[in-house]
Amino acid sequence: MCKYLIHYFSGTGNTYHMVKTIESQLISRGFEVGLLNIEKDKIRKLSDYEFHIFCFPVYGFGTPSIMLKYILKLKASVECKAAVLCTSAGAEGQSLSHVKYILDKRGFRVFLTDMVIYTYNFTQILSPQSKEVEEKVFKHAEIRIMEITKRIINNEESFKKLNTIALAVSWAVFIMFINLGRRILGKTFIADDTCIGCGRCEKVCPAKVISMHNGKPKWSSNCESCQRCINTCPQKSIQLSVIKLTIFLISELAPILIIMDINKYMHHLSILVNIILYFVMFAVGTFIANLLISIMERLCIFKKILNISYTKGYRRNTAKGFNIK
């Protein structure tokens, strides 16, 4: 009997739903299945399983950093067959090819990569889709997963690929997102006046970037941008701070405007010099933005201003059956 091990990370439950659907399909066909939640489960002996399935959501056209760090720790002593599956609201970016490359280097033989479309839960920016839309999308997702599972069982080789231009663009977006975007977005979270200081957000954060200060959560700069905190807060207290976001956007755009102005008067600056200038000014701008926000958070006069948000009326959403304790 073939044994399958599903390695997975799920931010708000879409990937978890996919994993449970795959598990039920494999079990119904008589296979033994193990589930490994990379957030809390210990790495198992890889050679005990003939097949490995890696499942994760797509963030910023790429693979979550928590999943990449996990995969880089693995090393197959004997060749293990593997499939790579991601969930996305529409585009997998470079995630599948990236993970396939890493796993191939770690001793696995990846024979299948694919993506399943789910609803988006990027509540920090967009209000999640309605329950009616979600139900339709999930039903379609289940059909897709059943078809993919059959191909996995039959050991059919197939790879979902992007064209060269789309791959290059997605790599550029992903590099910016994983090194900068997710960190800034994490710092723009706030807990409004409805927060009761229950600490649930701190407990469920997979990146462990939330800590409680004076009964309120505070985010550090290594946010995964999984949206779990904003979607699972029992009081719906977690919001996007418009003021914080504005401050960070200014810190990003200001260096570009300054460099454009400098180039008006100094026409012989090379591209390399311009790039160095930008990163130096960007680092300084980010430091000043963080310092300014830190000062504002300490002064009562600014607390109401920092709480200005447009996400208060947004629907919160996690996939059915997804419970984080």
The pLDDT profile of the chain, 325 residues, written as one tens digit per residue, is 789 999 999 999 999 999 999 999 999 999 999 999 999 998 888 989 999 999 999 999 999 999 999 999 999 888 899 999 999 998 999 999 999 999 999 999 999 999 999 999 999 999 999 999 999 999 999 999 999 999 999 999 999 988 999 999 999 999 999 988 998 999 999 999 999 999 999 999 999 999 998 899 999 889 999 999 999 999 999 999 999 999 999 988 888 888 888 877 777 778 888 788 888 888 888 889 989 988 988 888 888 899 999 999 999 999 988 987 6
Return d(Cα 216, Cα 272) in angstroms, integer. Answer: 44
Whole-number pLDDT of residue 270: 81
Within this chain, do residues 124 and 28 fall inside the same structural domain, yes or no?
A: yes
Other C-beta atoms lying within 10 Å of the C-beta of residue 44: 12
Q: Which of 164, 187, 205 is the last residue of a domain?
A: 164
Number of structural domains the chain divides into: 2
Pick from 125, 121, 65, 120: nearest CA to 245: 125
Classify residue 320: in a domain, yes or no: no
Within this chain, do residues 67 and 209 fall inside the same structural domain, yes or no?
A: no
Classify residue 148: in a domain, yes or no: yes
Classify residue 172: in a domain, yes or no: no
Lookup result for tokens 């949206």: 227
Give the residue numbers spanning the domain of 206: 178-306
Side chain identity at residue 267, one-letter code? H
Q: Which helix (DSSP H) or strand (DSSP E) does residue 34 occupy?
A: strand 32-37
Within this chain, do residues 133 and 229 fall inside the same structural domain, yes or no?
A: no
Within this chain, do residues 192 and 73 fall inside the same structural domain, yes or no?
A: no
Return d(Cα 51, Cα 43) in angstroms, integer. Answer: 15
Please list the residues that pair with 62 across neighbouring strands: 59
Classify residue 313: in a domain, yes or no: no
Whole-number pLDDT of residue 209: 96
Classify residue 169: in a domain, yes or no: no
Within this chain, do residues 149 and 36 fall inside the same structural domain, yes or no?
A: yes
Whole-number pLDDT of residue 255: 83
Residue 251 corresponds to which tokens in the numbers above? 């810190």
Whole-number pLDDT of residue 325: 66
Q: Which of 105, 132, 164 is the last residue of a domain?
A: 164
Whole-number pLDDT of residue 277: 84
Are the C-beta atoms of residues 146 and 23 closer than 8 Å to each other?
no
Q: What is the CATH number of the domain that holds 270?
A: 3.30.70.20
Return d(Cα 61, Cα 93) in angstroms, integer. Answer: 4
Classify residue 314: in a domain, yes or no: no
Pick from 72, 76, 96, 102: nearest CA to 84: 96
Within this chain, do residues 188 and 287 fall inside the same structural domain, yes or no?
A: yes
Are the C-beta atoms of residues 235 and 321 closer than 8 Å to each other?
no
Return d(Cα 323, Cα 325) in angstroms, integer. Answer: 6
Within this chain, do residues 26 and 157 fall inside the same structural domain, yes or no?
A: yes
Within this chain, do residues 151 and 218 fall inside the same structural domain, yes or no?
A: no
**Phi, psi torsion values for 9, nearest 5 degrees:** -135, 135
Classify residue 93: in a domain, yes or no: yes
